[in-house]
Amino acid sequence: TASRPTDADLLARRARLLGPAYRTFYDTPFHPVRGDGVWLYDADNRPFLDAYNNVASVGHCHPQVVQALTRQAATLNTHTRYLHAGVLDYAERLLARLPRELGHAMFTCTGSEANDLALRIARAHTGASGLIVTRFAYHGVTAPLAEASPSLGKSIQIGASVRTVPAPDLHPQEPARVGRQFADGVRAAIADLQAHGLRPAALLVDTVFSSDGICTDPAGFLQEAVQAIRAEGGVFIADEVQPGFGRTGDALWGFARHGVVPDIVTLGKPMGNGHPVAGLAVRPEVMAAFGRECRYFNTFGGNPVSMAVAHAVLDVIEGEGLQANAQAVGQYLRHQLRQLAQRHAVIGDVRGAGLFIGVDLVADRAQRTPDPALTARVVNGLRQRQVLLSATGEHASALKIRPPLVFSRGHADQLVDALDAVLSELPPG
Ligand code: PMP
């Protein structure tokens, strides 16, 4: 048999061919060759429990999604300037699952394009340029979004019309004040824009604040900030690329737990279970100015294959009750993690909604001292024990747990047992 390339070979080729900007996860990079449900397999057929990939949200290689994709690919795929019912059927179905106020859907291939388009729509509608994001946000790869993605690192130049605000307090003394504090930040950012002769076009937030460390509670805390941006003529863009399509368990969308209706909702990652399909939904009155000023054409966005895939993903989410599963298993997993915290003082906090969970690892629980080095050791230790997850937050000191929504209680037990074992092996600190 032909010899397999070693991982070292692949790493060397990556560096040579793809250049220096790419990164891999883990001290020992992971090299899966096959996926099935919540499992990824390496070339030796060893199973790895996937507690990280929210893209394959209905499970890796779900047969219903694969079949929809291959069937449509074998029938027709074209650019999006011909008539095709698939995009309309999906738009109808998607809009029916969003608040009534959101009357139009537009399609892209990536979450970045969706956010970029949302920003252009917001700027056309308001005639303003200011953009407000959280202090450790990530919103995408285009130039205007990289300039609004401080999580890319200290060397990222924040745009002249971008202002960052502190993320909602992850560990509030008084939960009732989270919304006020967050809105105070937004009001200060608006004032600073105005002091520089700018007006705010939009407040753009990931509604679970996934790269800021995961902040979901108390439900409702976003309301005051949304009022604050609208009071100054700006719009509220809910970035649902991470939480959307049922992950938060209580609703299909992360913004719903806050009782707000966004002006624009952007969608991505789980929408196609790995196939690149993304998009946005928007209030018609917010869309109108952009529609007058511009035409929109996206070669691949909303093509027949992408729409068939997106349809199949919704079929599976609804047919298999995955939102309810996210709710039930997420609650169970948080409970088990809190039990584990009773035996491991390094677990500083467990939070989240549905199957979007953050676990702070701390050097001192009372002081909540972040421990990024420990977090990196735990993430790598879990990888050695064939459990995949990652870290998030300003200090990369919270475990980010975000498995496919087909995660069961049994899988949750396996994850917690592996974490218990890794934490138990830590040298006394
Ligand atoms: N918004 C958020 C909140 C994201 O996490 C990401 C991707 N990590 C994006 C937007 C960009 O999506 P994409 O990578 O599909 O362009």
| DSSP result, 181-201 | HHHHHHHHHHHHHHHTT--EE
| pLDDT over threshold 70, residue 327 | yes
Give the three-state DSSP class for 32: strand
Q: How confident is the model at residue 317 (pLDDT cuts 50, 70, 90)?
A: very high
Q: In whole angstroms, what is the distance from residue 59 CA to residue 313 CA? A: 10
Q: Mean pLDDT across the stretch 227-246?
A: 98
Backbone angle region of 368, left / alpha / beta, with phi > 0 → left and psi within -120 to 50 → alpha: left
Question: pTM for the full model?
Answer: 0.97
Confidence at 227, pLDDT banded by 50, 70, 90: very high
Is the pLDDT reported for residue 427 higher than 90? no
**Residue 270 CB–ligand 1 contact under 6 Å:** no
Domains in the chain with CATH codes = 7-58+321-425 (3.90.1150.10), 64-319 (3.40.640.10)
The Cα–Cα gap between 168 and 147 comes to 21
| Pocket lining: 266 vs ligand 1, CB cutoff 6 Å | no
For ligand 1, the distance from its centroid to the CA atom of residue 44, given in whole angstroms, is 32
The per-residue pLDDT for 1 is 54
Tell whether ligand 1 has an atom less than 6 A from the beta carbon of residue 356. Answer: no
Whether 23 and 5 have beta carbons less than 8 Å apart is answered as no
Distance 6 CA to ligand 1 centre (A): 31
* 255 in contact with ligand 1, CB cutoff 6 A: no
Nearest Cα neighbor of 225 from 253, 251, 198, 262 is 262
126 lines ligand 1 (CB under 6 A): no
From the CB of 212, is ligand 1 less than 6 Å away? no
Give CA separation, 232 vs 23, 60, 68, 79, 222, in Å. Answer: 40, 44, 45, 39, 16
**Cα 404 to middle of ligand 1, angstroms:** 17
Which residue do the tokens 């949200």 mark?
A: 57
Atom 5 of ligand 1: nearest residue by CA position: 242
Residue 2: pLDDT band (50, 70, 90) is low
How remote is the C-alpha of 191 from its chain's centroid?
A: 29
Ligand 1, from 55, 241, 245, 248: best to mutate by most atoms within 8 Å of Cβ? 241
The values of phi and psi at residue 70, to 5°, are -70, -35
Q: Is 279 in the pocket of ligand 1 (CB under 6 A)?
A: no
C-beta neighbour count of 117 within 10 angstroms: 25
User: For residue 4, is pLDDT > 90?
Assistant: no
pLDDT value of residue 84: 96
Angle, helix 372-384 to helix 409-425, in steps of 10 degrees: 120
Q: Is 254 in the pocket of ligand 1 (CB under 6 A)?
A: no
Residue 48 CB less than 6 A away from ligand 1: no
Could you tell me the end-to-end alpha-carbon distance of the chain, in angstroms, rounded to an integer? 48
CA-based max dimension of the chain = 69
Q: Which residue has the tokens 């409970």?
A: 335
> Is there an atom of ligand 1 within 6 Å of 216 CB?
no
How many helices (H) and strands (E) the chain has is answered by 12, 16
- Residues in contact with 157: Cβ distance below 8 Å, sequence separation at least 6, in sequence order: 147
Q: Which amino acid is at 151?
A: S
Q: How much is the average pLDDT of 177-197?
A: 98
CA 69/CA 78 separation, integer angstroms: 14
Q: Is 70 exceeded by the pLDDT of residue 429?
A: no
Question: Ligand 1 center to residue 425 CA distance, Å?
Answer: 35
